[in-house]
Amino acid sequence: MPKVSRDTATQGGDYGPVVDHSEDLEPYTVDFLTFREDVDHTPLLQGLPEHRCQCPHWGYVFRGELTFRYPDHDEVYRGGEAFYAPPGHVPVHTEPGSEYLQFSLAEDLRRTSEVTMTHFPPLTG
């Protein structure tokens, strides 16, 4: 059975405000994410439908805080909480030092990343 840890992940990298250790365990991508700064993903999502992430995510916040912004409300998750973010959200990290584990459908995440990486590095907001 495939497995991965933050230390064994072979993808991702250090992107300044964000450190991403990831691995594809098809049909999912597993991301271990650490945010060094407050980050609003709004500028990165330009070009996606409704300028929102269309990839569903499941995860667990180890520490800090993670906010997903929807058209009509925000969902806030803190250390020790699991989450599900359906398509149509904008990730907003409101606390430097936040760390979480995220599972995403690999193909959906690849399509999203193709768009977001064209806007990199204006990550801080």
Q: What pLDDT is stored for residue 52 in this prediction?
A: 96
- Residue-range domain boundaries for the chain: 36-89+100-125
Q: What pLDDT is stored for residue 121 in this prediction?
A: 58
Q: What pLDDT is stored for residue 93 in this prediction?
A: 80
Mean pLDDT by 10 residues, the chain (125 residues): 93 91 96 93 91 96 96 97 97 90 96 83 47
Q: What pLDDT is stored for residue 29 in this prediction?
A: 97
Q: What pLDDT is stored for residue 125 in this prediction?
A: 43
Beta bridge partners of 84: 58
Q: What pLDDT is stored for residue 98 in this prediction?
A: 95
Q: What is the pTM of this model?
A: 0.88
